């Protein structure tokens, strides 16, 4: 799954929609959910859809403070990418 803070225009104009559809079974966009990462509600929505526990989830992000902090606060693992 992909979780993104992109707005609707940015998402709809992303140049490689085929890549997204090929590699991600589900896309969670902040403009659909009404809140952005690192707001815990975005992760609660995902967890609820999959009946997953936070300890079984991995957050991959490029911001150690916001992404890493959100993961840590919720008990998720975190992987930093550049």
pLDDT for 76: 94
Output DSSP code: residue 62. S
Q: Could you tell me the CATH number of the domain that includes residue 31?
A: 3.40.50.1000
Cα–Cα distance for residue pair 42/16, rounded to 1 Å: 24
Quick: pLDDT tens for 27-68.
Answer: 888 888 888 888 999 899 888 888 889 999 999 889 999 889
The pTM assigned to this predicted structure is 0.73
36: domain range? 2-80
Count: domains in the chain: 1
Please state the three-class secondary structure of 14-59 as a single string. CCCHHHHHHHCCCEEEHHHHCCCCCCHHHHHHHHHHHCCCHHHCEE
């Amino acid at each position: 799954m992909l979780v993104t803070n992109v707005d609707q225009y940015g998402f709809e104009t992303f140049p490689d929609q085929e890549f997204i559809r090929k590699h991600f079974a589900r896309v969670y966009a902040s403009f659909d959910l009404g809140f952005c990462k690192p707001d815990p509600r975005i992760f609660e929505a995902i967890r609820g859809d999959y009946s997953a526990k936070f300890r079984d989830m991995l957050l991959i992000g490029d911001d150690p403070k916001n992404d890493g902090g959100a993961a840590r606060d919720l008990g998720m693992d975190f992987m930093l990418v550049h």
